Structure 1
Amino acid sequence: MKNYILEFENYLIVKGLSQNTIKQYKPIIGKFLLKHPEPLTATNAEIISFLIKRGQARTVQQSHGALNHFFLGVLDSHAISKVPQPTASEFVPDILSEIEVHQVISTITNLKHEAIIQLIYSCALRIGECINLKVTDIDKIKNRIKIKNGKGGKDAYIPIPEATKNLLRVYYKKYRPEVYLFEGQNSPKYTTSSIRQILKRAIKKANITKNIRVHDLRHSRATHWLENGMDIKFIQKILRHKKPETTDRYLHLTTLSLENAMFSADKNIQLKFKKPATSQFLNAG
Structure 2
Amino acid sequence: MIKLRYSPEDNRFHLQFGYSKTYFPIAKSIPNGFYHPRDKSWSYPNDPKTIKQLLNAFEPHDIRISPKEIPKQCGILEDYFKATRERNFTFCTTKSYYSHLFRLLVFTGKLPSNIRMIDLENYLDHLVTEEKPKVASVRASRQAFIFYFREVRKQFTHLKFPRMKVENKLPEVLSAEETRAIFDALPNRKHKMLLLISYSSGLRVSEVIHLKITDIDFKRNMVRVTQGKGKKDRYTVLASSLIEELMEYLKIREYNLLLKHSYNEMRSNPWLFPGMRNRPLNIRTAETIFTNAARKAKIKKKVTFHSLRHAFATHLLELGTDLRMIQTLLGHASVRTTQIYTKVARSRLENIASPLDRIPPTTEKTNLNKDSKKEI
TM-score (norm 1): 0.81
- Pair 1:49-2:122 in alignment: yes
1:5 paired with 2:71, answer no
Corresponding residue for 1:103? 181
Alignment-derived partner of residue 27 in structure 1 = 99
Looking at structure 2, the residues matched to 44 and 249 of structure 1 have their Cα atoms a distance apart, in angstroms, of 37
> Alpha carbon RMSD of aligned pairs, Å?
2.6
**Runs of 4+ off more than 4 Å:** 77-80
Contact 2:342 2:348 in 1 (8 A): no
Q: Residue type of the partner of 2:290?
A: L
Contact 2:332–2:338 under 8 Å retained in 1? yes
Q: Distance in 2 between matches of 1:45 and 1:87?
A: 23
1:140-219 equivalences in 2 (<5 Å) = 140-176=218-254, 178-185=269-276, 188-219=279-310
Structure 1 pair 163–185 and aligned structure 2 pair: CA distance change class (3 A) = farther
**CA spacing shift, 1:236–1:229, aligned 2, 3 Å:** same
Change (3 A) 1:247 1:122: same
Q: TM-score, normalised by structure 2?
A: 0.63
Question: Residues 19 and 214 (structure 1 numbering): CA distance in 2 closer, same or farther, change over 3 Å?
Answer: same
CA pair 82-169 structure 1, distance change in 2 beyond 3 A:
same
| Between 17-26 and 237-246, the greater mean CA deviation after superposition | 17-26
Contact map agreement 1:52 1:60 (CA 8 A) in 2: no
Q: Where does residue 368 of structure 2 map in the other structure? A: none
More helix by share: 1
**Alpha-carbon distance in structure 2 between the residues aligned to 1:111 and 1:12:** 39
Specify whether residues 250 and 90 from structure 1 end up closer, same or farther in structure 2 by C-alpha distance, changes over 3 A only.
farther
Within 2, Cα distance between the matches of 1:187 and 1:211? 33
Post-superposition offset of 1:259: 3.8
2:86 corresponds to which residue?
14
The aligned amino acid for 1:243 is S
Counterpart residue type for residue 275 of structure 2: G
Unpaired stretches in structure 2, ≥5 consecutive residues: 1-66, 68-73, 128-132, 255-265, 354-376
Name structure 1 gaps, 5 residues minimum: 263-285
How far apart are residue 209 of structure 1 and its match?
0.8
Structure 1 letter corresponding to 2:93: T
Q: Note the C-alpha offset of 1:53.
A: 3.4
Name the count of aligned residue pairs. 263
Structure with bigger gyration radius: 2
Per the alignment, residue 316 of structure 2 pairs with: 225
Contact residue 8 and residue 70 of structure 1 kept, 8 A: yes
Q: Per-residue CA shift, 1:93-141, capped at 9, x if unaligned?
A: 2110011101110111110001101111111111111112222322334
For 1:113 and 1:171, locate their aligned partners in 2 and report how far apart those are by CA, in whole Å. Answer: 10
State the AA in 2 paired with 1:207.
K
